[in-house]
Amino acid sequence: MIVIKDLCKSYKKDGTEEIKAVDNVNLEIRQGEFTAIVGPSGSGKSTLMNIIGLLDIPDSGSYSIDGKIVSDLSVDELAEIRNKKIGFVFQQFHLLPKTTAKENVEIPLIYSDKKDISGLAADALTRVGLSDRINHIPSELSGGQQQRVAIARALVNNPEIILADEPTGNLDSKSGAEIIEVFKNLNRQGKTIILITHDQKIAEHADRILKIVDGKITEEIFADHSTNNTGQTQLLNSQNSEEGQLVRSQQVSTKFKNSFWRK
């Protein structure tokens, strides 16, 4: 689905110093994966997400989605892919304060040719467990419920990919865990989830973790969600341990048949 080769993106700091936000990144994300990109503030993870989400343009390298090379596409074609293939969820909920949950979810459909906009919005809210809150305005909802509305809004166009940038950053631990369960359920339904976070514990809910430092992906880890004796998820470094390499090869052959990682 997504293939990135030798991707670079730099910014000027104070007008002089060049900062490499994304530095020669290579990766593949296949349909149906749940991938977390984890790193500290300033590591380049959000810049990478913006490029994947077609919100930013790299300086060099190539990016293709469903076999289409992004640099070959027009502005209108990029906008169509963003609208139809990608749903965005951010740390801030970005809900209209005097508008009901259902009306907030309807917003991406206003200029579409889809019929029964109201029904589609209600269905999306039902998928995130808010069927009894569709007529509530944001101030009548908890933080976790507001983020569910934002997820429903991202879902309403039925995108293949959900890009979530620090979606639990404004939530308490209980609400954050509930939101992660929503993403896991969507992934089980076939959605490709790309989760950006600074929180290692949140990242461990994904099937694959990519660690990014100074714009470079430094580590690839697979999570074995079968529990060990302590009831905790085991993490296997697929590049640095023999056991991890074995599990990686098994996962690849049984689930995706091809390598996750392109070097």
Q: What would the pLDDT profile of 56-80 be if each residue is shown by its tens digit?
A: 999 999 999 999 999 999 999 999 9
User: Greater confidence, 136 or 249?
Assistant: 136
Q: What domains does the chain contain, in order, with CATH numbers?
A: 2-256 (3.40.50.300)
Cβ-Cβ contacts under 8 Å for 210 (sequence gap 6 or more): 27, 35, 36, 37, 38, 217, 219, 220, 221
Provide the H-helix boundaries in 163-241.
173-188, 200-203
The predicted pLDDT at position 241 comes to: 42
Mean pLDDT of 202-210: 94
pLDDT of residue 227: 56
DSSP state of 231: S
pLDDT at 153: 96
Distance CA 23, CA 26 (A): 9
Phi then psi for residue 149, to 5 deg, are -60, -45
pLDDT of res. 238: 54
Evaluate if residue 228 carries a pLDDT over 80. no
pLDDT above 90 for 16: no
Q: What is the per-residue pLDDT for 232? A: 53
* Share of residues in the chain with pLDDT > 70 (%): 85
- Assign 247 a pLDDT band (cuts: 50, 70, 90): very low
Write down the pLDDT at residue 237. 62
- pLDDT level of residue 192 (50, 70, 90 thresholds): very high
CA distances from 105 to 127, 134, 220, 221 (A): 12, 9, 35, 35
- Residue 133: per-residue pLDDT: 95
Q: Which long-range contacts (CB under 8 A, 24 or more apart) does 165-169 make?
A: 165/46, 165/49, 165/88, 165/89, 165/90, 165/91, 165/196, 166/90, 166/91, 166/196, 166/197, 166/198, 167/89, 167/90, 167/91, 167/195, 168/197, 168/199, 168/202, 169/91, 169/197
Percent of the chain whose pLDDT exceeds 90: 73
**What is the reported pTM?**
0.84
Q: Which two tokens stand for residue 178?
A: 């509930």
The stretch 78-107 carries a mean pLDDT of 94
Other Cβ atoms less than 10 A from the Cβ of 169: the count is: 16
Residues 65 and 140 sit within 8 Å (Cβ to Cβ): no
DSSP secondary-structure letter at 150? H
